[in-house]
């Protein structure tokens, strides 16, 4: 039976794609057949959607790009605005169909959200609605920088309000100059009722294989097992 994870972020720019790739690498190292999914990508550079390409590269199962990334929008702006400008109707039901096809090819599908957890994806629905429709355990990426405690606790509340399971969180150290970083992580460990799955240090050069070792893969596999 296939399993899935939904990767949400406390904000945009906190490293959801990077952490999603680390999750894929960590699971692949345990001989899992894995594939990443970017339901909505907003922002094209030279004809390429980098987030979708990175997830595809980190996967060890080959799938059609249209299933891995059903909606590829040109502008690097909020997805509902980009979709409106491009006359694209984002439909959660279609994303669900693509997700179902991915599950036929992989043991684990890592689904990366877009923007923050409550960012609109169309006139009436948000990323939270997408996560709810897929009904997957949520992994929260916390960008460790000033203000992260409030951002994290608000996002945790939103995840719980949506009736979803917050299965774990990852501290992604995006600001190398952050003061009291460990104290902030400790505070979040006290306040977030979910396990810390890894501390990922800031790195100028990204070595995904090495950095994937920062993920506590045994905890991750346990989460996946509970979702079967």
Measured between alpha carbons, how far is residue 156 from residues 32, 168, 215 in Å? 28, 10, 20
How far apart, in whole angstroms, are the C-alpha atoms of residue 47 and residue 74?
9
pLDDT in tens, 31-57: 999 999 999 999 998 889 999 999 999
Closest of 71, 37, 43, 34 to residue 55, by C-alpha: 37
- Tokens for 131, please give them: 């996560």
CB atoms within 10 A of CB 138: 26
Whichever domain contains 153, its CATH number is 3.40.50.300
Task: Give catalytic residue positions.
Answer: 38
pLDDT in tens, 147-202: 999 999 999 999 999 999 999 999 999 999 999 999 999 999 999 999 999 999 99
- What domain range includes position 216? 3-227
- Tokens for 16, please give them: 């959801």
Q: Using an 8 Å Cβ cutoff, are 37 and 111 in contact?
A: yes
pTM: 0.95
Split into its structural domains, the chain has a count of 1
């Amino acid at each position: 039976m296939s399993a899935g994870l939904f990767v949400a972020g406390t904000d945009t720019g906190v490293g959801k794609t990077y952490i999603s790739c680390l999750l894929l690498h960590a699971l692949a190292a345990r001989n899992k057949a894995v594939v990443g999914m970017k339901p909505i990508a907003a922002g094209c550079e030279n004809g390429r959607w980098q987030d979708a390409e990175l997830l595809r590269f980190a996967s060890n199962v080959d799938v059609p790009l249209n299933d891995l990334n059903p909606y590829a929008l040109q502008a690097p702006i909020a997805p509902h605005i980009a979709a409106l400008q491009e006359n694209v109707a984002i439909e959660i039901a279609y994303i669900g169909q693509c997700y179902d096809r991915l599950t036929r090819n992989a043991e684990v599908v890592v689904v990366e959200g877009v923007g923050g957890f409550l960012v609109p994806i169309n006139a009436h629905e948000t990323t939270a609605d997408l996560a709810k429709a897929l009904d997957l355990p949520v992994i929260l990426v916390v960008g460790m920088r000033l203000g992260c405690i409030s951002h994290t606790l608000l996002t945790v509340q939103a995840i719980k309000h949506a009736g979803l399971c917050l299965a774990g969180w990852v501290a992604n150290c995006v600001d190398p100059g952050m003061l009291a970083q460990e104290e902030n992580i400790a505070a979040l460990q006290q306040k977030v009722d979910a396990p810390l799955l890894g501390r990922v240090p800031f790195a100028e050069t990204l070595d995904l294989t090495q950095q994937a070792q920062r993920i506590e893969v045994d905890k991750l596999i346990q989460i996946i097992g509970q979702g079967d």
